[in-house]
Amino acid sequence: MNRVVLAYSGGLDTSVSIIWLQEKYDAEVYTVTVDVGQGGDFKLIEDLAHKLGVVKHFFIDAKKDFVENYVFPSIKANGLYGDKYPLSSALSRPLIAKNVVEVAEAVKADAVAHGCTGKGNDQVRIESTVKALNPNLKVLAPVREWGLDREFELEYAKKHGIPFTREKIYSIDQNLWGRSIECGPLEDIELEPPSEVFKWTVDPEEAPDKAEYVTIGFENGVPTSLNGEVLDGVSLLMRLNEIAGRNAVGRIDHIEDRIVGIKTREVYECPAAACIIEAHKDLEKLVLTPSQLSFKELVDRQWSFLVYAGLWYEPLKQDLEEFIDSSQRFVEGWVKLKLYKGGLRVVSRMSNYSLYSKDLATYSVKSVFDQSAAPGFIEIWSLSLRTAHTVRKNRER
């Protein structure tokens, strides 16, 4: 008999996968549910797994690991894909896969399984991770291999006594760093997402009439306090999701290029991520030199791409992180944000490593900047362009 460890969310796809693995693959199925802050009733999920006949169910609280080892590096890298998406789902996949591999090794399984379809990024992220960590494990993807659609799954589930309703029209994935919503009416890109898809953020029209301020403190490039109170990462994200969410901050709607070549419309709500990345970028502008900043933009973009594309274990990522970590040594201080009806603005900031000098920047006569040095600087700074201009000016094109 085959022994398979399945990444189990308790949803329709992975529940149907349990039966499929038992029936078609003649497998003893073990399930693993990894808590990355998605919420929900984990006891119910465990009960359902047992009801479906799994040999053993594992629950792993990975919230702290997720925040400290996946979200924090992404904050340091201002991790965004397509300049918009904070990589929330992308960051969780290598962590889920790592935990599934660990269980598979512990129970001496021959294969691991997941419920991803063949059209998305998640299959790439999970399988690349499994293959990196344990090349001997087979990977099974019932939903992909079987080409399952929802209607069939519902029928199949009913036949096996699994209680799933037809109501669910959206595909949702969530964790502490954000929530992604796909399918249903969202596939019509000319339509505004209906309010019902949003659960963590209110509509701007429903937000308070008074602005709310929030101050985020950073050390070594990661958030460590909120409004002056020192918090662990998990608590900080939970609290900030709530604060920003009630001010309608963090909704994202953009066109995304999946790794598999499909353009999709993706809708997210990432209240804490929106605030933290905005604040972190602002603090970096204060403490890093222009050379560091412009080079880091390239590094950040490349890091984000690798993570989006499922290449968590690509050695280049670690090389980039050496640079990023070094750049973050002085990213310390605080940034104050003003949240108002979906709007998010940095309004003040402070750092002991600030490179801003009021004495230099001020327009008042007290400035210590030596203006008499400027003409000489301009003379040399513009020398090459002036030379080119003089040489070329008599040609028409």
Residue of 21, 10, 28 whose CA lies nearest to 141: 21
Q: Which residues 6+ apart lie within 8 Å of 206 measured at CB?
A: 248
Integer Cα distance of 197 and 135 in angstroms: 39
Burial class (CB in 10 A: 0-12, 13-18, 19+), 234: middle
Q: Does 332 bind ligand ARG (CB under 6 A)?
A: no
Note whether 4 and 25 are within 8 A (CB).
Answer: yes
Does 13 qualify as catalytic in the annotation? yes
Pull the structure tokens for residue 178: 């954000």
Q: Give me the 93-132 binding string for ligand ARG, x by CB under 6 A, dash otherwise.
A: ----------------------------xx----------
CA-based torsion, 160, 165, 166, 172: positive or negative:
negative
Side chain identity at residue 142, one-letter code = P
Does 26 qualify as catalytic in the annotation? no
Q: Give me the 244-263 binding string for ligand ARG, x by CB under 6 A, dash otherwise.
A: ------------x-------
Nearer to ligand ARG, 122 or 284 (CB): 122
Q: Does 182 bind ligand ARG (CB under 6 A)?
A: yes
Does 171 qualify as catalytic in the annotation? yes
Q: Give me the 159-178 binding string for ligand ARG, x by CB under 6 A, dash otherwise.
A: ------------x-x-----
Binding ligand ARG (rule: CB under 6 A), the pick from 22, 31, 38, 89 is: 89
Nearer to ligand ARG, 180 or 201 (CB): 180
Residue of 330, 329, 369, 333 whose CA lies nearest to 348: 333
Nearer to ligand ARG, 123 or 215 (CB): 123
To the nearest 10 degrees (0 to 180), the angle between helices 88-106 and 122-133 is 40
Closest CB 293 distance from ligand ARG, rounded Å: 27
Pull the structure tokens for residue 359: 């004495």
Torsion on CA atoms 223, 226, 228, 231, rounded to nearest 10 = -70
Closest CB 9 distance from ligand ARG, rounded Å: 9
Closest CB 8 distance from ligand ARG, rounded Å: 14
Closest CB 199 distance from ligand ARG, rounded Å: 14
Nearer to ligand ARG, 17 or 180 (CB): 180
Does 3 qualify as catalytic in the annotation? no
The residues that are catalytic are 13, 93, 122, 171
For ligand ARG, the binding residues (CB under 6 A) are 89-90, 121-122, 171, 173, 180, 182, 256, 266
